[in-house]
Amino acid sequence: GRLDYGVNNAGVEGARAPTADYPLDEWDRVCGVNLTGVFLCMKYQIPHILSDTGGDGAIVNVASGNGLVGGANVSPYIASKHAAVGLTKAVALEYAPLGLRINALCTSSVATPMQDRIFGGDTPEVLAKVADMHPSGTISTPEECADAIMWLCSGAASYVTGYAYVMDGGWLAR
């Protein structure tokens, strides 16, 4: 009967193509899921969280490390994830005075079917190649992402809002 926390974790990678050749309908689909989806979730979560918690709640938008860097041939994915991080920061500023904390989780490779599609499978060779892209030499798990989300929703993160929390095994440090 209450909504204390929201976690918005939906995304699609979209087709790969240079921007000039990118199909508009595919652009709309990727941005619709990755950005408009986050907006709509927050639009309807915020009133309930404020009412149910008196403002002592949190929202975590799962973005991507690609929301902090560029990338060729995936412009709608990159743009939508940058926009999701910016949207998170803007909305955090609106609701911080009411006590509602809103953050983004920016991951790199996570062991999911989406990663398998991007890199061409989950064979030991592919997984080793993906792990080697990270200074940690590892790929994160959905459970590690859940732990980060739980921390961002917890009282231990009571002073954290408007933050793009990077969890990427050192990928962006390069």
Evaluate if residue 87 carries a pLDDT over 90. yes
User: Is the whole model's pTM more than 0.85, yes or no?
Assistant: yes
pLDDT by residue (tens digit) across 106-117? 998 888 888 788
Q: Rounded CA gap, 35 and 90, in Å? A: 13
Mapping DSSP onto H, E and C, the string for 111-167 reads CCHHHHHHHCCCCHHHHHHHHHCCCCCCCECHHHHHHHHHHHHCHHHCCCCCCEEEE
Residue 81 φ/ψ, nearest 5 degrees? -75, -35
Percent of the chain with pLDDT over 90: 80
3-state helix, strand, coil in the chain (%, to 5): 55, 15, 35
Structure confidence at residue 78 as a pLDDT band (50, 70, 90): very high
Evaluate if residue 136 carries a pLDDT over 90. yes
**Average pLDDT score over residue span 43-55:** 95
| Mean of per-residue pLDDT scores for the chain | 94
Question: Can you give the pLDDT at residue 127?
Answer: 85
Higher pLDDT: 82 or 117? It is: 82
Q: Is 77 a catalytic residue?
A: yes
* Segment (H or E) for 102: strand 101-107
Q: Rounded CA gap, 69 and 78, in Å? A: 8
Evaluate if residue 103 carries a pLDDT over 90. yes
The answer to whether 69 touches 138, Cβ cutoff 8 Å, is no
Rg (alpha carbons) of the chain, rounded to whole number? 17
Q: Which of 48-62, 111-125, 140-154 has the lowest mean pLDDT?
A: 111-125
The two three-digit tokens of residue 22, written as one number: 């990118």
Catalytic choice (5, 22, 44, 77): 77
Question: Can you give the pLDDT at residue 171?
Answer: 93
Structure confidence at residue 32 as a pLDDT band (50, 70, 90): very high
Q: Work out the angle at residue 166's Cα, subtended by the Cα atoms of residues 161 and 171, and round it to the nearest 5 degrees.
A: 165
Residue 92 φ/ψ, nearest 5 degrees? -60, -40
